Amino acid sequence: MDKLYAELEQGSLVAAKALLGWKLVHATPNGRIAGYIVETEAYHENDPASHTYKGKTKRNAAMYEGAGTIYVYFTYGMHYCVNIVAGRKGVGEGVLIRALEPVEGIEPMKVNRKTSVISNLTNGPAKLVQALEIHKGYNGTVLGHGLHLEKGIIPDEIVQSRRIGISQAQDKPWRFYIAGNLYVSKS
């Protein structure tokens, strides 16, 4: 975890790769729900697609709080997504968690997602937030309490490609995922 923290501090590009394979765990009052991170995207201040491109606002403030902070944002009138903030305090960058491989708490995930199809539980940024019961209350808090990371798997092969769902900087290859993993979101 210390090595990971050092990598998170180096910025979103390094962090996005370093986070692959780590287990994202939400310790809820009713038990643990967790999965391996299999897909990420990096965002930073000089990136037109980033929420921090035009500077600090009330919404994106958590992205300036330094490595290890959690940024939860609301979008499209109905969805939440999570980021692990990267870089040093004062710099606005982070890593969007786009997909997980379900590991613990599969049953509650099925209930939360209203489906029993395992491959459809956490293969998208808003889906995993719903499956793990992550809520906006975590925005601006630090990893380590309810929501935290634990050692997971060592990725076999990492693929780098274009990001998904953005209208700016579509040519930048700042998305990373574990090759061949069944739970990577569809593009």
Place of tokens 């209203």: 114
Binding map of DNA across residues 102-141, x = CB under 7 A, - = no contact? -----------x------x---xxxx--------------
Residue 171 near DNA by CB under 7 A: no
Residue in 99, 85, 165 with CA at minimum distance from that of residue 129: 99
Residue in 55, 86, 54, 89 with CA at minimum distance from that of residue 71: 86
Neighbours of 60 (CB within 10 A): 20
Neighbours of 21 (CB within 10 A): 18
Q: Which of 6, 31, 59, 111 touches DNA (CB under 7 A)?
A: 59
Q: Which of 50, 100, 102, 181 touches DNA (CB under 7 A)?
A: 50
Interface with DNA (CB under 7 A):
41, 43, 49-52, 54, 57-60, 63, 71, 74-79, 81, 83, 94, 96, 113, 120, 124-127, 164-168, 185
